Amino acid sequence: MTAGTGAPPGTRLALFDLDHTLLTGDSDALWCDFLMLRRVVDPAVFAAANTDMDSRYRAGKAGAQEFCEFYVSTLTGMTRTTGEALRKEFLDKVIRPRIPADARALVERHRQAGDVLVMTTATNRFITELTAIEFGIEHLIATEIEEFHGAFTGRTRDVLNMREGKVTRLSDWLAKRGWPQVMMGEATFYSDSINDLPLLSVVGTPVVVDADAKLAAEAGRRGWRSMAFQRA
């Protein structure tokens, strides 16, 4: 599907959040744990901060900029070349074992239906690219990372793909392809988190998956469909 071309008639988007939805756990928090285990970052500095950030994000209490830049800071000074072996090991040892069979089956059902598959995540692109490939999801909308002279600066760039930013980034993504904005209103979106309420509120079919308490209550009020995955 090429940028600048109209979407084929009948094309529908299937949008998937990653952390605590398709994945059991949060890939940012797991990345920090992995880096601490490998002594790439100092456990004495990151352990408590990582736990605190993960819990505050799930409760919808962490600021978007604060959340994203805390985790992107773990990449400061790293190049794509030096980081490649790390993220491949991360996928193999940490991510794959945390992907429920139910999540793979859900993505496959939408693939068989001919839907356009999009992973939309607040986690940065460098960490999540290989996970999207693992699922066979062609399109990834993620938080982008600033680079300078071939190395990550530890800062984000552009609109963060979090909360209201997920709506903005999806709208921009459609526009770049010359696809109508109405496709957002016809899309299905799967998420676990109250942080995704803005995007859940504008798609045609919002589905909550193992929802947090706040989202479960909101979904109940709005009559949204709810799913639970069998997780290890």
44: number of Cβ within 10 Å:
8
CA atoms within 13 A on the CB side of 43: 6
Q: Which of 17, 192, 210, 212 is catalytic?
A: 17
- Is 42 an annotated catalytic residue? no
Percent of residues in the chain assigned helix, strand, coil, to nearest 5:
50, 20, 30
Q: How many helices (H) and strands (E) does the chain have?
A: 10, 7
Report how far residue 160's alpha carbon sits from residue 64's, in angstroms, rounded to the nearest whole number. 7
| Three-state secondary-structure class, residue 80 | helix
Report how far residue 31's alpha carbon sits from residue 127's, in angstroms, rounded to the nearest whole number. 8
Q: Provide the annotated active-site residues.
A: 17, 19
